[in-house]
Chain A
Amino acid sequence: MAKNPLHTKLCDMLEIEFPIIAFTHCKDVVEAVVNAGGFAVLGEAMHTPDEIAADIKWIRNKVGNKPFGIDLVLPASVPPTGDLDELRKKIPQEQMDFWLDMKKRHNIPEPKGQIDLHQWGGLNKEIARSQLDVLLDEKVPVICSGLGNPAFILKDAHEKGIKVFGLVGKARQAKKEAEAGVDAIIAQGYDAAGHTGPVGTLSIVPECVAVAGDTPIIAAGGITHGKHLAASLCLGAVGVWTGTLWLASREGDNDMIIKDRLINSTADDTVYSDCISGFPMRVLDCTWTKEWRDDKAPKVLGAPYQMLLSSDYIQAANDHRREDLMTEAAGQGVRFIESMKPSRQIVLDMVEEALEVFENLTGMEAF
């Protein structure tokens, strides 16, 4: 009998059964994945320290002593100043007129409530630091930094028995974080949902493996199937970081309209565009993205101006549940989300699919 190819260094490090990490903003998904033998990380970047502490308590009540992680967006750079109202006044008339015309042509209503996306500047280094202190106080098992280098907290975290993971989009970032002593590095490729780096998953994973020494690399970007898991392990990764995969799960808290779109989408239905935030990001194609790539569209504005324009659209689409307008960040692997499965089933299916790959490759039963 061959060695179980899915039992990796990550499984030993985290004492988990399968090297599958779910990144999610939904606590119910965390509970389901952790209790199914995987690992889950809750995104808490927009929550207050008190909310984060409450969420940690909730998760502990649901998963007992099993480990889980919390992800914060540690900023890597911040502008010297910034005022939202002042910035709104600087939006050029041409782009504002284009938006108002689009609003009229598509009968886009006003948002019902607060413009959530206007909180773009709602996080700064002081807030991130206070969030981080909660994670240290609570001794959360794993802290993930979704952007900036977490080197400065390593000593404190390790003294408290906390593991620290960093997410990178370039090999030089992986090298620097590995040298600093992070416990694992998530190498995120271009295939991923949201704002990604320009390097594809197939390239960035082995490049990070090559420069990170003994630090384990976790593959991210477009991973939604057991074949992706098997391929990632072949590239030298010790596991996978998955996000889009959970958006249409039974426990996931996304709107049913978005879940249905995800289930019926392929890679071609995602677009890599700067028209939402001013930075390139991957989302499901929608009225907004189609309008901005029209020949008659004005030039997309840089950040933060483009986000100030798009936030009214996105909030109105969500508030009024307009199927023709709604969008969501989604990775290129979206084609393999085929039904609204329970998260536990997603974990087990991915394991089975990956084992089948190894069995087909070796002609041997995996374990």
Chain B
Amino acid sequence: MPKEPLPTTKGFDPEMAGKRAECDGGGHFGEKYIRREEFAGTLSGEYVDHGDPPWRWYLLKDLYQKPDHYAFDSVWCEKGNIYLVGE
């Protein structure tokens, strides 16, 4: 859909690496619905920024909470939807 690829920057944030976190996640589903889904796991520290101002996403791995039948063992979570466990 975008005419040109958005500027994307990958990086590593050592301050976030190894921290346990929850993510109130979700996204678009079907023609006009949204879905809410919750994850919990460990932040790898890897991140990706899209566009300007940067829209930052962290990789949450080693998931110990995820929706039933979620087919992957990691998820990209938007920074503003991450809740660090115990902080």
Contact = CB atoms under 8 A, between A and B. Distances in A.
Interface string B56-87: 11010000000111111011111111010000
B54 interface: yes
Contacts of B39: 77
A213 interface: no
Interface string B1-24: 111011000000000000000011
Contacts of A125: 50, 55, 57, 76, 78
Contacts of B51: 129, 133
A130 B26 contact: no
Nearest to A148: B78
A325 interface: no
B25 A77 contact: yes
Contacts of A311: 30
Given A130-B6, A303-B35, A151 B80 contact: yes
B33 A78 contact: no
Contacts of A281: 33, 35
A294 interface: no
Interface residues of A, number: 64
Given A77-B78, A78-B76, A329 B33 contact: yes
Interface stretch (A55-63, A112-120, A264-272): A112-120
A130 B1 contact: yes
B67 to A, nearest CB: 6
Given A76-B80, A79-B75, 12 more contacts: A75-B27, A77-B23, A78-B57, A87-B71, A117-B30, A123-B27, A127-B2, A133-B51, A152-B80, A156-B53, A170-B24, A173-B81
Interface of B: 1-3, 5-6, 23-37, 39, 50-51, 53-57, 59, 67-72, 74-81, 83
Q: Please give me the 7 A-B residue pairs with the lowest Cβ-Cβ distance, nearest first.
A: A302-B69, A77-B25, A149-B80, A75-B27, A130-B2, A302-B68, A76-B81
22 contacts: A45-B32, A46-B32, A49-B1, A74-B78, A77-B27, A77-B75, A81-B72, A125-B55, A129-B2, A130-B1, A130-B3, A133-B51, A148-B78, A152-B56, A153-B53, A180-B80, A194-B33, A195-B34, A279-B37, A302-B69, A302-B70, A303-B37
